[in-house]
């Protein structure tokens, strides 16, 4: 009596399907919409947006400072003079323009 040590077709099919599913889920975990690479991209984008937010926050603070300094409650005469010169092109009578 000899016994066949050949694996059956059913077990071979099972392992092929299991390997294919494992490979698919591994690929999806690394490169899918919610995979590791996408997470790194999102993290880099979030860092860039945080830098933009910090820059814009500083810019808004500077604009608010200028607005406050030109308001009715607090008037900075030096800033008013600077704005009149740059925006309106005004000069004092004792100044000479050299081009």
Among the listed residues 43, 15, 38, the one whose alpha carbon sits nearest the alpha carbon of residue 27: 38
Q: What are phi and psi of 70, to 5 degrees?
A: -105, 10
What average pLDDT does the structure give for the chain? 87
Provide the whole-model pTM.
0.56
Q: Which two tokens stand for residue 54?
A: 């910090």
33: pLDDT strictly greater than 70: yes
pLDDT band at 72 (very low <50, low <70, confident <90, very high): confident
């Amino acid at each position: 009596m000899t016994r066949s040590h050949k694996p059956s077709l059913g077990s071979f099919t099972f392992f092929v399907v299991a390997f294919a599913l494992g490979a698919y889920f591994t690929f999806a975990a690394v490169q899918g919409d919610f995979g590791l690479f996408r997470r790194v991209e999102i993290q880099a984008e979030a860092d860039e947006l945080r830098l933009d937010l910090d820059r814009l926050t500083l810019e808004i603070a500077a604009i608010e400072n200028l607005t406050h300094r030109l308001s009715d409650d607090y008037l900075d005469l030096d800033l008013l003079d600077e704005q009149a010169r740059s925006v309106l092109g005004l000069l004092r009578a004792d100044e000479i323009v050299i081009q």
